[in-house]
Structure 1
Amino acid sequence: MLENKNVLKVISLIIAIFLWVYVMGEVNPETKEKISDIEVTFVNTDQLADEGLAVVHNQDIKISAVIKGKRSVVNDTKKTGVTATVDVAGASKGSNRGKVNLELPSGVTLDTISDETIKYRVEDSVEVKKDVEIDFVGDTDTDTDLVPWAYDTYPGTVKVTGAESIVDDVYAVRGKITSNVVSESAKTVEVELIPVKKDGTEVQGVVLNHTKAKTTVQLMEAKDVDVSITPKNVPDGREVDSITGVDSVKVVGSAGALADLESIMATVDLSEIKSEEKKELNFSLPAGVYLYNKGNTTEVTVKLKTAR
């Protein structure tokens, strides 16, 4: 009798499993699933650009939603993801609020959404030119004191376009290269360009007219050299009292270019100085010699006095 009961239990379990598989696979019941971290993008921004405006979009905007439909379709939708957009056509300068639109496949409907509308800001669109900087990360594969260097970068400047407050955050457009790909032989590499703040963090929400650059990289020698400063455009009735802040700088170049180099020339424009001010130096570098940009101070303090 006990054996019969056990057999019946096993048969019942098998039947239950088959029924479950049938319901899940064949009947394909309705189900609900939550999808998180749906990134919201703005559309029709070109219409704002035509009016000289741009959306302030300096961070990722993400929402979540619960969708419903047949289990198989809902599962496929979770795998492929969904798109959320806000149409900014017709937005005005200042604060705006736009409806979030979810693009869902046929057979799937929206049950609930975390944010039906998104608040965003519109500002004047500006365009500025920023220098392209090449940053090396990691160590080289050599034990020498040579440093990785990039030169003949094209383009050397990039146009940055976007909302005024966001573009103001862009210090430079930077490309990163791993140091171990650089050797004593020059070679050309292509890098992705990223707009960054002064501290190196990425600035989001701007458009670059070039997203890649080509540059020549090579391991070079580094050397500290003296700086000879010549003032230019000294105001009438004034003369230089002192120029302080930079006595020497580090430069890089080939062994031949640096062999006999002990000092370099620099000028400082004093046309707008009244008494004391900080000014950037403009360097005159020999061919094949470059100013090393890490740790170099190129700003001097200039004091003027009444001419005798």
Structure 2
Amino acid sequence: MVKERGSRWPIKVLSLLLAVFLWMYVTNELNPTKEQVLRQIPVETRGLGAGLAVLNMSRQVTLRVQGNQNVMADLAARSVEVSVDLSGVKAGKSRLPVSVKLPPGVRLVDVTPDEIMVEIDRLAEKHVHIKPEVTSRPAEGYRQMKAVVKPSQVVLKGPQKVLAGIDAALARVDLRDRTVNVLETVPVQLLDKQGKVVEKPGVDIVPAQVEVFVPIVVELPSRTVPVKVPVTGVPAEGLEVTAVIPEPKTVTVTGRWEVLAGIREITAEAVDITGVKEDVLRAVRLRLPAGVTSPATPEVRVLIRVGPVTGQPQAPGPGTQAPPQEDRDTAPGGA
């Protein structure tokens, strides 16, 4: 009886091996092993030290993985984690191994590349002025005034080498066929030292968007006329006014044509020279008629020269005035 039981062990072992083989065969037939290539898998960075920034590195790898069919069918690129550990890495270039984390049941066959060259730079901050830029023109009969950007500066944060190449920022707005004031929120673009837009600068821009305000006004006719500066009083005894010289001598004003047609000169505030003993230099404001503007020249400077009396009587009344200047008219849209 003992011999009979002992003689059955080889049969039992063989049966077990046949069962395992049969199970593996059936399993492989029903759920075979598959191999898959995952391309352009993003590489993350971990453990970067404070005050440092990644200047340059390869951001993608290709993976070749294996797994049973039922596991591989649900495999997606987003379930794979690829990273490089930057712990303890200092500024400069370093070649670091790629770490891959896969879902359960998936095996890594190959990763290309298996090492990545990483260039680290010190983190810096830079304040940059924003230049407004308008494209196209408003509708016919309208013109734009000076564009205003709010805020006027942005703060850039990133690698020192990248920030060194950035010279200014740009906020662009389109005025095509506009007839009313424009207020838009637009993204900030960065410019290099040659004035070209930097594509994908790799720095943080704070704020990333700004407001641009561009006033749009009706394009009115303009006219250039002489400036007249009245003088009141008389200088000290034995002296007289020899010249009144405004600067500029002419001013361009805008307004409706029926208003401009009656304007031959623009008078400034009067200057009192009572008792003066030497030349007088003053800044005086222009007195613009209603409906007339001169945004470029709200005031003028005037030099009043005095000298010894030459025997000619001084003009009575308000005093000597600037000699008349020939005026020039400009139709809408002209110079």
Deviations 1:212-254 (A, max 9, x none): 22332454689xxxxxxxxxxxxxxxxxxxxxxxxxxxxxxx9
1:1-308 pair list within 5 angstroms: 27-45=30-48, 47-49=49-51, 53-57=52-56, 61-71=59-69, 73-74=71-72, 76-78=74-76, 80=78, 82-136=80-134, 142=139, 146=143, 150-151=147-148, 153-179=149-175, 183-197=178-192, 198-219=195-216, 260=294
Q: Any stretches of 5+ residues in structure 2 without a counterpart?
A: 1-25, 220-253, 257-291, 300-335
Q: Given that residues 48 and 88 in structure 1 are in contact (C-alpha distance below 8 angstroms), is that contact kept between their aligned partners in structure 2?
A: no
Q: Any stretches of 5+ residues in structure 1 without a counterpart?
A: 1-22, 223-253, 266-308
Separation in 1 of the partners of 2:130 and 2:92? 32
| 3-state DSSP of counterpart to 1:56 | strand
| 3-state DSSP of counterpart to 2:179 | coil
| Cα root mean square deviation, aligned | 4.2
- Deviation of 1:165 after TM superposition, in Å, equals 1.0
Partner residue in 1 for 2:13 = none
Separation in 1 of the partners of 2:58 and 2:297? 49
Separation in 2 of the partners of 1:118 and 1:156? 40
- Deviation of 1:77 after TM superposition, in Å, equals 3.8
- Deviation of 1:113 after TM superposition, in Å, equals 1.2
Q: Which structure dedicates a bigger proportion of its chain to strand?
A: 1
- Deviation of 1:141 after TM superposition, in Å, equals 8.0
- Paired amino acid for 1:206: V
Structure 1 stretch displaced more, 29-38 or 171-180:
171-180
Who wins on radius of gyration, i.e. which is larger? 2
Q: Which structure dedicates a bigger proportion of its chain to helix?
A: 1
Q: Given that residues 38 and 63 in structure 1 are in contact (C-alpha distance below 8 angstroms), is that contact kept between their aligned partners in structure 2?
A: yes
Q: Given that residues 33 and 68 in structure 2 are in contact (C-alpha distance below 8 angstroms), is that contact kept between their aligned partners in structure 1?
A: yes
- Paired amino acid for 2:210: A
| 3-state DSSP of counterpart to 2:166 | coil
**Closer, same or farther in 2 for the Cα pair 1:96/1:264, shift >3 Å?**
farther
Deviations 1:254-278 (A, max 9, x none): 999x96356799xxxxxxxxxxxxx
**Closer, same or farther in 2 for the Cα pair 1:173/1:82, shift >3 Å?**
farther
Separation in 2 of the partners of 1:72 and 1:147? 66
- Paired amino acid for 1:121: E
